[in-house]
Amino acid sequence: MNGHGARRRATGTASAVQITFDGEPLTAVDTDTVASALIAAGHRVFTIDSHDGSPRGGFCFVGRCSDCLMVIDGQPGTMACITPVRDGMRVETQHGRGHWGREGQS
């Protein structure tokens, strides 16, 4: 558990979207990006750096910095910050450069 204090303040008129994060169900809203859904749910580690194994969690949130690359629906290197959530989407922490089409990475 991250133990940090990020939280969603309100959902307004947005409707719920169900995704999974590392195999666990997670409820997002339809206006979310993958990054905002994870942050709101208390998850802030998106990627494990391939060089030193350090955790990364998104820095710019506009598709520039590559600190939010995740495996989304089996495709590695997908920017969580500019990818909208979709019902049934499978989101996985990316380790290093990730692997194509492989679920549940080691």
Partner 1 sequence: MNVAVIGAGPAGMIAAGMLARRGQSVTLIDEQTGSGGHLRYDRYPVGSDRHDSDSWLTELRGAVDSSNAVVLLSAIVWAAFRVGDGFELAVNHAGAERTIVADHLVVATGTTDLALIVPGATLPGVMTSRAARILLNRHDVLPGQRLVVVGAGVEAERLTSDLASAGAEVSAVATEKIESIAGSRGVESVHLTGDRTVTADCVVVARGEAPDLQLAGMLEAPRTYDSSVEGWRLAVGADLPGLSVIGGALLGAAGPAHVVKATIDTVERIAPAGPESGEIGLDITGAIIRWEAVQG
Residue 58: CB minimum distance to partner 1, A: 7
Q: Tell whether residue 96 is a contact of partner 1 (CB under 8 A).
A: no
Q: Of the two residues 48 and 105, which places its CB atom closer to partner 1 in the complex?
A: 48
Q: Of the two residues 56 and 99, which places its CB atom closer to partner 1 in the complex?
A: 56
Give the residues across from 29 on adjacent strands: 16
CB atoms within 10 A of CB 12: 7
Q: Is the dihedral of CA 86, 90, 95, 97 positive or negative?
A: negative
* Chain centroid, CA 63 distance in Å: 13
Q: Tell whether residue 16 is a contact of partner 1 (CB under 8 A).
A: no
From 18, 23, 50, 59, residue interacting with partner 1 (rule: CB under 8 A): 59
Binding mask 69-88 for partner 1 (x = CB under 8 A): ------------xx-x----
Q: Which residues contact 20 (CB under 8 A, 6 or more apart)?
A: 26, 89, 90, 91
Distance CA 51, CA 95 (A): 10
Q: Of the two residues 6 and 16, which places its CB atom closer to partner 1 in the complex?
A: 6
CB atoms within 10 A of CB 85: 25
Q: Which residues bind partner 1 (CB under 8 A)?
A: 2-12, 31-33, 36, 39-40, 44-46, 49, 54-64, 67, 81-82, 84
